[in-house]
Structure 1
Amino acid sequence: MKIGILQAGHSPDELRDSVGDYGEMFTRLLDGHGFDFQIFSVVDGEFPSGTEDADGWLITGSKHGAYEDHDWIPPLETLIRDIRDAGQPLVGVCFGHQIIAQALGGKVEKFDGGWSVGRTEYDFGDQTMALNAWHQDQVVDLPEGAEIIASTDFCANAAMMIGDKILTIQPHPEFTAPLVAGLIEHRGRGNVPDTLLNAAEDALSTATDNAKFADKMAAILKG
């Protein structure tokens, strides 16, 4: 089964040699599930010719906001709607979560409550999962038909299902402790309050549920 990864941003230059780019992080996360991957760097204007180029799709995170004025965002929103209309599976993470919500009629804003960074526990109803967060933007209005499947007191709309083919999540199951440490150093200091960064540093050695959530992603992508 071929999964098209729609890469909406790049990892920091300082970290790319050690951790890879965002698309590569997902190929590692989903390794062992029997997928073949093709990465389309949509942030650089590289798009598939159509939905037939893959059997399922995944949209990565990005430093950009879904509401920002970039040439590649409108065609990405069109592609999201085409994927939905084709009945193909689709997973979105962080920016991917937000742009799917926006493309399908929801709303994304820069959250006035500030940032969420580092290991965070999410309530999935029947279980709690710990995943690494790195965001200020949030989905504030849901698209039609969306069901919230995970939340925190800080992020009410942390994960959602739209029908049985679209899964989106605000935190990053692909983010490892070394990557979060690098983000703190290269994208955090001076942008995110030190109290949040220090707490995220303190939690770097505590396990997350990346593999467990990867299984959920793979199940959706396999239909």
Structure 2
Amino acid sequence: MRSSGYLTNMVTTKQEKRFALLMAARDSDYVKTTYGGYYNVFVDAYGDQGERWDLFRVIDGEFPCSADICMYDAFVISGSPNDAYGDEPWVMELCELLQKLDSMRKKLLGICFGHQVLCHALGGKVGKAETGWDIGVREVTVVDEVPCGLKGESKVSMLCTHHPILEIHQDEVWEVPEEGEVVAYSEKTGVEVFAIQDRVLGIQGHPEYSKDILCNIIDRLVGNHTIDKDFAEETKLVLDKVEPDAKFWIHVCKKFLKNN
């Protein structure tokens, strides 16, 4: 079943780029009230004027029709509380779709769960992190050699450095797909970013999140006894003192999606 389309700009032109957002999480009450839903969070971060972004709630079984997928310039897979290696029907259908899209050489950007499910679908290995939850701001080191499609203004751009990012995950990529390259790592997570040439990009962190979104998720995890209250409070104290480099990570994502 296909969801209805949503536009960032109601005027359609022949030149407009078209993107599909594969939403793997349901909107929290906080995000609905504050931002109008995760769709707006993603499009505000990654979208530009004159583009069309269509929403498919894959967690609820809404997928793009096979006949329509050729119309999209790129696909973005969101985070999710579910396991990327789980056997839920929608996760398995998502993996099949990602395999098909990759065979069509469509651009695929995965965020958190999206990063993991891309890896899993394309032949890599994903599982629980031995070191447990990673929540807060994590400094990520980008390796020296980065696929051309991810580079900034020049061939050797500013990517060879450290960039903090907001994180909240319990699973991680253990091994990238055969064609994949590890693009970035951190002290806690060996594969923070992976890429396959210039068509697949997986990012473990959340460039699109703000601190208040992360704090609300932390509160909900405490409320359902998933994480300890003391751990949550300590995480929030650190979060207050460190800023993510959202501008950098959003630039990387948009550069990858749009080649601009």
TM-score scaled by length of structure 2: 0.80
User: CA offset at residue 211 of structure 1?
Assistant: 2.2
Q: Distance in 1 between matches of 2:171 and 2:181?
A: 19
**In the alignment, does 2:154 pair up with 1:138?**
no
What is the aligned partner in structure 2 of residue 72 from structure 1? 90
Query: How far apart, in 2, do the equivalents of 1:49 and 1:162 lie?
Result: 25
Q: Is the 8 A contact 2:31 2:38 kept in 1?
A: no
Of the three residues 234, 239, 247, the one matched with 1:199 is 234
Q: Return the match for 1:107 from 109, 125, 145.
A: 125
- What is the aligned counterpart of 2:106 among 85, 88, 94? 88
> Is 1:219 matched up with 2:255?
yes
Aligned AA for 2:161?
Answer: Q
* Equivalent position to 1:56, from 74, 78, 93: 74
Q: Distance in 2 between matches of 1:103 and 1:171?
A: 19
Task: Work out the percentage of aligned pairs sharing the same amino acid.
Answer: 28
Q: Which amino acid aligns with 1:179?
A: I
Q: Is the 8 A contact 1:3 1:58 kept in 2?
A: yes
- Give the superposition deviation at 1:21: 2.9
Higher RCO structure, 1 or 2 (CA under 8 Å, sep 6+) = 1
State the 4+ residue runs in structure 1 displaced beyond 6 angstroms: none
Letter of the 2:77 partner, please give it: I
Higher Cα Rg, which structure: 2
Opposite residue 42 of structure 1, the aligned amino acid is V
* Structure 1 unaligned spans of 5+: none
**Structure 1 residues 141 and 117: CA distance shift in structure 2, 3 A:** same
- Structure 2 segments unaligned to the other structure (5+ residues): 1-16, 144-159
Query: What is the aligned residue count?
Result: 223
Deviation at 1:53, TM superposition (A): 4.1
Partners of 1:80 and 1:43 lie apart in 2 by: 14
Give the CA deviation at 1:152: 0.8
* Equivalent in the alignment of 2:32: 16
CA contact (8 A) 1:7 1:41 kept: yes
Say which SS state the counterpart of residue 49 (structure 1) adopts.
Answer: coil
- My pick for the range that moved more, 32-41 or 54-63, is 32-41
The alpha-carbon distance between structure 1 residues 53 and 121, as it changes in their structure 2 partners (threshold 3 A), is: same
Q: Helix, strand or coil for the counterpart of 2:137? A: strand
Conserved? CA contact 2:219–2:232, under 8 Å: no
**8 Å CA contact 1:181, 1:204 repeated in 2:** no
- Among candidates 174, 187, 192, match of residue 158 of structure 1: 192
8 Å CA contact 1:4–1:56 kept in 2: the answer is: yes
2:21–2:76 CA contact under 8 A, matched in 1: yes
When residues 80 and 179 of structure 1 are mapped into structure 2, their CA distance, relative to the original with a 3 A threshold, is same
- 1:5 paired residue number: 21
